[in-house]
Structures are given as structure tokens and as C-alpha cells.
């Protein structure tokens, strides 16, 4: 869901909560939008370039003896070209041996120092994250290892076959869920032959076709300084942060930034039904949404917060869940991406209620598009977004993701500081106007997967 939003509010919770089914939440943990930031005197964001040309975003957070580093590249699945899954494959190979270390010694080197290394790849961006204590021996080892992981992955033949197999099995596992099947089908339909059409996890046959040469070429082209943003948050001062950024990027060639993505195609609406051996039917209804830096960004974002920002307090939640008990998790969202991401409404209900749920969702959207939110609804949404700012940046882990996002999408350094004003300025007329121009109350694509289809 929300493919290119990268802050999962569930992450910390899930770790504590343990096994699914062991802890059951009242409402689904939905990805929190990246839009929200801080109110007064947010973190002081500084930025500069490393000597090889990587952009750095930095915030000093002195309270805990730790540092978070996140290096993002314009190297997501939108760069896969003819080989869906290539970006994820390359990303998954990074920690499987780099520089002088094979996968075993690399893992040991990190873990015997308590260093955490992560990585991932979505449609727009691919990233490597490092969390380390600030103790110098530990931090040096973390940076040295991360530098090699990013710049000099080995792409050993055995590791390639292992990761290929893991990706294929991961893909099959995800296709056991009717929700995943519906989401993939939605993107394929909405984006047709656009690079956003396929899932970052690829396809079984494309994964089988990817060669070592493909991996090496992709890495050489996209994991370069001109295509990178380094975000740093922690108990390191500016001078230390500069050294950290240099250490991390020194082995990286300067290279070139990835080329612009084409605009998404115009796709007309339609209804697609697919059977699935499930007791619930998953519904994905939507259309083309907005890009980062879209002039309607704030009106659409705040408007959607009223429409379906959460399962509990939103018009969709009220109509589908609270009034009718049709679905546990129902919400809508815009995924603002490099070029237009989707606008989506999502719900799931037992098979014989699917048509009713779909109708309620469509009627709710149509009414919202034609009438817009009430003054009270809009005010409540703005209060939630503005009042909630401090929560969204209350940890180093959250701030570093914001920095990476801001650097990646070229937001100004005062982005977070000016957000509340921009949210506060949104009025009912702007929302109504933006939705009536940008969102069709009638058409759109509906993908319905479950039961007998």
C-alpha cells in the first residue's frame, strides 16, 4: 500500500507487538503520510555536498549516543526498464558481500558491534540505512562497511542465485494475499506501459532472466553520488557529520543523476474482477493522483484527510465501517511520487458484500467530489494535521526519513517549518475546486479480487 510512502508508523509497534495474531489492533496500521512535519522551531536542517557530489541533509540530535544514516538513490523500480524486479534485486545484493567481505564476514562485522544495516527499494527510491552507536570504533566500522556495501557490492554468483530464489519465494508468498494481487493489478492497469506499472518485487519470469551483468550495470549507473542523498541524524556535530558523509561516499563515483521519468499515460476507467480462494474480496478503486510539488498538493492532501485519511475518523470510515460494519480497514490516499502517483480507495469485505461496499465507496467519493468537505470537517482535519506535527518528528528514526525524502524530492530546507502555514491556508473552496478538477467522481479503475470474482 502507498507504495512510495516510506514512513511506516507500524514499524516500532510491530517489533513490540510480535507475532501477528498475538496482538490485535483496533484499526489497521496505515502508513502515515510524509507530508506532516513540525510546528514551531523544528529541527535545524543543514545541507551540503560531499566532495564527490552527493547531497547531504543533516540534523543534530544530541540526546542519545547513536546516529542514523540513510542513503537514498533514484534507483527504484521505475528504473527497472525491461526487467521488473531488477532494482530490488540489486538492492538485495548489497549486503550479500562487498569489498573484502563475503556475506558471512560482513554480517558478523556489523552485528558483533551492534550495528543495524537495512535496505529497500520501492518505485521511486532505493536506500541503505545504518544505525550505530557513536562510540568511535563502532561508528568507523559502520561507515567503512556501509561505504563498501553501497559502492563495492561483490555480486558473487552463489549469492545472486540465493537472492533470486528468495525474491521468487517472497513474491509467491505475497501473491497468497488477494490484497497484493489487487494492488498489483491496479498499478498495471493504471500505468499500462509506464515504469510505475510493475511491482518493485518483479515477476517470476523477469526475476529468472536477470543476469549478473544486468545487476552490475544497474548498480554502476544508479548507485552514484550525483544520484544520491545522504541523510544524517544523531549525536554528531556538523564537523563529524561532514566526515561521516565523506567517509560514506568516498568510494562512490560521481556519475549522473537518473533521467526524468515520462508522464503517466491517460487511462480510462474500468472494472476488473478476479476470482481468488478467499472469504473476503479486496477492493482497490482509484485513478491517477498527484506528483510531488503538485500545485494542488495541499488541497488534495487535506481534502483526502477528510475523505479517507483513517479508518476511524473520515467520511469513508464513517460510511463503510462505522455505519455499515462492512470493512475493518478502509481508507483512501494519494501517493505523491516523482511523477503522478495514484489516488486510491481501499477496503475489504466478505465476498457477498463486495458490491455493496464498492457502491458505498463510489457514492461517498462522488458526493465528496461534488460537495466537498464541510467547514467543520475541514477544520477538524487541519487541526489533526497541524496539531499532530510534533508527534511526527519525535524520534531520530522519523527525522532521518523526512530528511531523506526532502533531499530526494528537492524540497527546500525550510520545508518542515513552512508546512503548518500551508496546511492552515487550505480552505473548503480550494479542496472542492481541486477535487472537482483532479478526481473523477464516477470513472476511475476498480479492481475487485476475491471469492468467485
Partner 1 sequence: MVRILLRTYLLGLVLVSLPAAAQVSEFKLDNGMKVIVKEDHRAPVVVSQVWYKVGSSYEPDGITGISHALEHMMFKGTEAVGPGEFSRIVSALGGSENAFTSRDYTAYFETLSVDHLERALQLEADRMRNLLLDPAEFAKEIAVVREERRLRTEDKPSGKVYEQFNAVAWRASPYRNPVIGWMNDLEHMSVDDLSAWYKRWYAPNNATLVVAGDVEPGAVRAMAERHFGPLQPSDIQSLKPAAEPQQAGETRVEVRVPARQPYLLMGYKTPIVGRSDEPWEPYALFVLSSVLDGGESARLARELVRGSGIAASAGADYGTYSRLPGMLLLDGTPTDGHSVAEVEQALRDAVARLREELIDEAELKRVVTQAVASKVYQADSLFYQAMEIGTLETIGLDWRLIESEIDAIKAVTPEQVRTVAQRYLVDDNLTVATLHPLPMDQQASQAPAGAGGRHGS
- Window 287 to 326, contacts with partner 1 (CB under 8 A): 310, 312-313, 318, 321-326
- Which of 1, 386, 413, 424 lies at the binding interface for partner 1 (CB under 8 A)? 386
What is the C-alpha separation between 285 and 270, in angstroms, rounded?
A: 10
Q: Which is closer to partner 1, CB of 402 or CB of 409?
A: 402
Bridge partners of residue 57, in order along the sequence: 47, 231
Q: Which is closer to partner 1, CB of 162 or CB of 257?
A: 162
- Which of 152, 199, 240, 278 lies at the binding interface for partner 1 (CB under 8 A)? 278
Q: Which residues, including other chains, have CB under 8 Å from residue 248's CB and lie 6 or more apart?
A: 50, 69, 71, 143, 146, 147, 150, 230
Q: Which is closer to partner 1, CB of 175 or CB of 413?
A: 175
* Cα-based distances in Å from 351 to 151, 233, 293, 327: 49, 47, 39, 11
What is the C-alpha separation between 145 and 100, in angstroms, rounded?
A: 10
Alpha-helical segments (H) within 223-296: 238-249
Q: Quick count: other Cβ atoms within 10 Å of Cβ 166?
A: 12
Q: Which is closer to partner 1, CB of 108 or CB of 425?
A: 108
Span 183-202, contacts to partner 1 by CB under 8 A: none
Binding to partner 1 by residue 375, rule CB under 8 A?
no
| Contact range with partner 1 by CB under 8 A, out of 52-60, 241-249, 388-396, 426-434 | 388-396
- Which of 81, 192, 391, 425 lies at the binding interface for partner 1 (CB under 8 A)? 391
Instruction: Find out whether 154 and 212 touch, Cβ atoms under 8 Å.
Output: no
Q: How far apart are CB 64 and partner 1 at their closest, in Å?
A: 6
Q: How far apart are CB 130 and partner 1 at their closest, in Å?
A: 12
Binding to partner 1 by residue 170, rule CB under 8 A?
yes
Q: Which is closer to partner 1, CB of 383 or CB of 418?
A: 383
Binding to partner 1 by residue 373, rule CB under 8 A?
no
* Cα-based distances in Å from 26 to 23, 347, 382: 10, 15, 24
What is the C-alpha separation between 302 and 427, in angstroms, rounded?
A: 9
Binding to partner 1 by residue 206, rule CB under 8 A?
no
Span 227-256, contacts to partner 1 by CB under 8 A: none
Binding to partner 1 by residue 25, rule CB under 8 A?
yes
Vertex 297: Cα angle to 313 and 345 (nearest 5): 45
Q: Can you read off the three cell numbers belonging to residue 198?
A: 510493475
Span 133-162, contacts to partner 1 by CB under 8 A: 133, 162
Span 71-130, contacts to partner 1 by CB under 8 A: 88, 92, 95, 103-104, 107-108, 110-116, 120
Q: What is the DSSP letter of 320?
A: I
Binding to partner 1 by residue 395, rule CB under 8 A?
yes
Largest CA distance in the chain: 63
Binding to partner 1 by residue 168, rule CB under 8 A?
yes
What is the C-alpha separation between 17 and 154, in angstroms, rounded?
A: 36
What number of chain residues touch partner 1 (CB under 8 A)? 90
- Which of 350, 366, 422, 424 lies at the binding interface for partner 1 (CB under 8 A)? 350
Amino acid at each position: 500500500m502507498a507504495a512510495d510512502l516510506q514512513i511506516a508508523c507500524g514499524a516500532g509497534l510491530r517489533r513490540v507487538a510480535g507475532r501477528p495474531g498475538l496482538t490485535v489492533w483496533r484499526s489497521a496500521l496505515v502508513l502515515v503520510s510524509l507530508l506532516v512535519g513540525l510546528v514551531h522551531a523544528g529541527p535545524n536542517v543543514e545541507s551540503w555536498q560531499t566532495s564527490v557530489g552527493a547531497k547531504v541533509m543533516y540534523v543534530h540530535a544530541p540526546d542519545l549516543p547513536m546516529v542514523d544514516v540513510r542513503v537514498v538513490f533514484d534507483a527504484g523500480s521505475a528504473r527497472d526498464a525491461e526487467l521488473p524486479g531488477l532494482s530490488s534485486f540489486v538492492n538485495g545484493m548489497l549486503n550479500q558481500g562487498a569489498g573484502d567481505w563475503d556475506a558471512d564476514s560482513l554480517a558478523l562485522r556489523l552485528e558483533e558491534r551492534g550495528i543495524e544495516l537495512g535496505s529497500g527499494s520501492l518505485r521511486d527510491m532505493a536506500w541503505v540505512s545504518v544505525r550505530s552507536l557513536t562510540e568511535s570504533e563502532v561508528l568507523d566500522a559502520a561507515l567503512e562497511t556501509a561505504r563498501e556495501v553501497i559502492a563495492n557490492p561483490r555480486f558473487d554468483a552463489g549469492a545472486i542465485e540465493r537472492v533470486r530464489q528468495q525474491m521468487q519465494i517472497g513474491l509467491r508468498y505475497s501473491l497468497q494475499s488477494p490484497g497484493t494481487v489487487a494492488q498489483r493489478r491496479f498499478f498495471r492497469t493504471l500505468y499500462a506501459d509506464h515504469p510505475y506499472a510493475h511491482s518493485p518485487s518483479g515477476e517470476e519470469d523477469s526475476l529468472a532472466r536477470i543476469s549478473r551483468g544486468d545487476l552490475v550495470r544497474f548498480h554502476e549507473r544508479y548507485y552514484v553520488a550525483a544520484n544520491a542523498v545522504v541523510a544524517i541524524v544523531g549525536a554528531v556535530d556538523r564537523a563529524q557529520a561532514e566526515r561521516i558523509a565523506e567517509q560514506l561516499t568516498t568510494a562512490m563515483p560521481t556519475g549522473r543523476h537518473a533521467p526524468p521519468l515520462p508522464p503517466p499515460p491517460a487511462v480510462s476507467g474500468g472494472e476488473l474482477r478476479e476470482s481468488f480462494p478467499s472469504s473476503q474480496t479486496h477492493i482497490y478503486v482509484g485513478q491517477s493522483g498527484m506528483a510531488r510539488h503538485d500545485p494542488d498538493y495541499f488541497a488534495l492532501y487535506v481534502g483526502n484527510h477528510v475523505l479517507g485519511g483513517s479508518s476511524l475518523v473520515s467520511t469513508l470510515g464513517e460510511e463503510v465501517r462505522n455505519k455499515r460494519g462492512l470493512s475493518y480497514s478502509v481508507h483512501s490516499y494519494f501517493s505523491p511520487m516523482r511523477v503522478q502517483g495514484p489516488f486510491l480507495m481501499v477496503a475489504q469485505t466478505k465476498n457477498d458484500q463486495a458490491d455493496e461496499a464498492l457502491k458505498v465507496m463510489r457514492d461517498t467519493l462522488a458526493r465528496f467530489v461534488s460537495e466537498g468537505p464541510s467547514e467543520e470537517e475541514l477544520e477538524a482535519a487541519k487541526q489533526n494535521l497541524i496539531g499532530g506535527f510534533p508527534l511526527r518528528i519525535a524520534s531520530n528514526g522519523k527525522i532521518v526519513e523526512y530528511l531523506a525524502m526532502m533531499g530526494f524530492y528537492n524540497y527546500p530546507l525550510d520545508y518542515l517549518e513552512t508546512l503548518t502555514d500551508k496546511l492552515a491556508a487550505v480552505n473548503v473552496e480550494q479542496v472542492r475546486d481541486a477535487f472537482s478538477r483532479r478526481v473523477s467522481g464516477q470513472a476511475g479503475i476498480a479492481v475487485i479480487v476475491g471469492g468467485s470474482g
